[in-house]
Structures are given as C-alpha cells and as structure tokens.
Amino acid sequence: MFTGIVTAIGTVEALENMGEDRRFTIAAPYQTAGIDLGASIAHDGACMTVTTKDTTPDGVRYTFDASSETLRLTTLAGWQVGTRINLERSLKLGDEMGGHLVTGHVDGMATVIRREDGENASLFEIEAPDDLARFIAKKGSVCLQGTSLTVNSVEGNRFTLMLIPHTLAVTTWGDRKVGDRMNIEIDLMARYAERLMAGA
C-alpha cells in the first residue's frame, strides 16, 4: 500500500526487452540498505518489485521486471533511457498518511487536455477513460502518476486539478504537457462503493 506522496524522483538508466516483457534499471536517491530485494516501490503509481540492487555515489541502482500486461495498461511502455519517474516506497505501520490509500494497481491511462500556469498554482485539465470517469468526484481523491491529488471540478469524463509550485518542483508534474498520458488509479473507496451498489 502507498499514500500517493512522492518521496523521490528516479531516472530510467537502462531497459532490456525480454520477449514481451521488459526489464528496467532505475537510479534513485534512496539508501541501498533501506531497500530489500523483493521490496515494493511505486513507479509513476505502478507497484513494481525490486529484483536486484547496488549502491551508487548518488544512492541506489535497482531493477524490476514489467510484464506485457503492465506495459499494455500503463505508461511504462513509453519510458526511455532518461525518463524521470515519481517514486514512493511502500507504507510501514506508523507512517504518516499524507495522501490517501493507494494500491499501486493502475486502472488505466488518462490524458492531459489543458495546462494553465498561474503565479501561485497550475491548473491541469485531465480526460479520464470512459470506464473510469464515473469514479471521479469533485473534492474526491485520485492518484495520477503516483501522486495523490484532490479533484477540483468534474464535467463528463474530464476533471481539473490545481497544483501548487511545490508539487511541481518535487514531482515530475512540472514536466507534464498537453497530450501526455498518465497512469490513473481511482479511489479505493469508490471502487468498493460501486461493487456494493452493484450487489444491492
């Protein structure tokens, strides 16, 4: 489990195709000793398992393998060497819950439709996939690129977000532009609420 609070920005150092799957090598500013083999780390919101690791002068270099299904459903298929990604270590008991409960199971990909930068905040208009739009609610939570965000407004399958300069600086949101695809995970409570209503 995660909270959608990004704790570091990593960089893709290498990728290797393995049939329909792909192995990624990531450089991150984490302490090597703090990451166990088999640890779960959210990469732009997608929970992946660490398979190897070694220490670098700036932190740690590690690998994970992505299946063809993960590549199909997420933005990972478009990553290249040099791509910057939002990272979050998995929750531990007693950690502060700064965002909302996030599983790291990406539901699909959303698209940036509009970006307007102001002095104190940046407005992003996002288009959600048709089958996920019903889960997006005004003032509700949504996870995009591994970041827990509050929905500002909703109209049809589009919604808006207001991001402060700090968020743009400590995540990859500052790089986002119109047309970019982003991993989206709907709120866990909305998912269960729909299931309960369907069974009523």
Residue 187: predicted pLDDT:
81
Say if residues 7 and 13 touch (Cβ distance below 8 Å): no
- Amino acid (one-letter) located at 143: C
- Angstrom distance (rounded) from CA 159 to CA 125: 6
CA dihedral over 25, 31, 36, 40, signed as positive or negative: negative
Say if residues 17 and 91 touch (Cβ distance below 8 Å): no
User: Between vectors from CA 76 to CA 140 and to CA 90, what angle results, nearest 5°?
Assistant: 55
Tokens of 80: 């290249």
pLDDT in tens, 36-81: 999 999 999 999 999 999 999 999 999 999 999 999 999 999 999 9
**Residue-wise DSSP of 142-170:** EEETTEEEE--EEETTEEEEEE-HHHHHH
The average pLDDT across 100-127 equals: 95
Please indicate whether the domains covering 8-89 and 108-198 agree at the CATH topology level: yes
Question: Quick one: the chain helix, strand, coil %, rounded to 5?
Answer: 20, 45, 40
pTM of the model: 0.92
| Exposure string over 99-136, b if 16+ CB within 10 A, otherwise e | bbbbebebbbbbbbeebeeeeebbebbbebeeebbebb
The average pLDDT across 102-112 equals: 94
Say if residues 85 and 26 touch (Cβ distance below 8 Å): yes
Q: Distance of CA 176 to CAs 47, 123, 147, 154, Å?
A: 21, 11, 13, 20
pLDDT surpasses 60 at 6: yes
- Angstrom distance (rounded) from CA 192 to CA 117: 35
Counted residue by residue, the chain has a size of 200
pLDDT band at residue 101, thresholds of 50, 70 and 90? Answer: confident
Class of domain 108-198: mainly beta
- Segments making up each domain of the chain, as ranges: 8-89, 108-198
Class of domain 8-89: mainly beta
